[in-house]
Amino acid sequence: MGMLSDIDLNDIEPSDFEPLQPGWYVCCIEQSEKKPTSKGNGHYLQLDMTVAAGPRKGKRLWERLNLWNPNQTAVNIAKASLKKLAAAVDIESLQDPSEMHFKYFEAKIVLREYQGENREEIKDYRPCGSAGEEASKEEPMAPAVKPSGGDAPWS
């Protein structure tokens, strides 16, 4: 008997890995974590996001902000993005990324070619509803996971 003989795959739909079309999407951050860079010479803040409304509701997105990096240009770009994101969720003085968890904002998605395929890239942030018709008209979904609290992920 095979290792997977008791696993039924008949009712499972394949995952949707197609990239989002360029545009603005209502999103929320569900998790954040400080991670080391692949070169080991710095760290980045990874933000795990979910599209919260529209036909692609539930689609996962990730943002990596190089806040602790020897390349000062990368740090400045990351700080500018973080400042826009904090403003989009109405936080003036961000102390911990968990303050942004489960707050809705709009993210501007563009496609960038990477190794022969189109990948989503977040280019901008703004508060929900700040552009009228461009934003999705659906109600945001309830977050799938609630924050657990605890230590700051970027200390």
pLDDT over 90 (residue 77): yes
Tell me, yes or no, if the pTM score tops 0.85.
Answer: no
Q: What average pLDDT does the segment 103-108 reach? A: 97
Q: Which residues of 39-57 are buried (b: 16+ CB within 10 A; e: fewer)?
A: eeebbbbbbebbbbbbebb
Lowest-pLDDT range of 26-30, 51-55, 85-89, 127-131: 127-131
CATH 2.40.50 for domain 23-134, yes or no, is yes
Mean pLDDT of 57-71: 95
17-61 residue pLDDT tens: 788 999 999 999 999 999 999 999 999 999 999 999 988 999 999
pLDDT band of 139, cuts 50, 70, 90 = very low
**Per-residue model confidence (pLDDT) at position 129:** 86
On whether the CB atoms of residues 57 and 73 are closer than 8 A, the answer is no
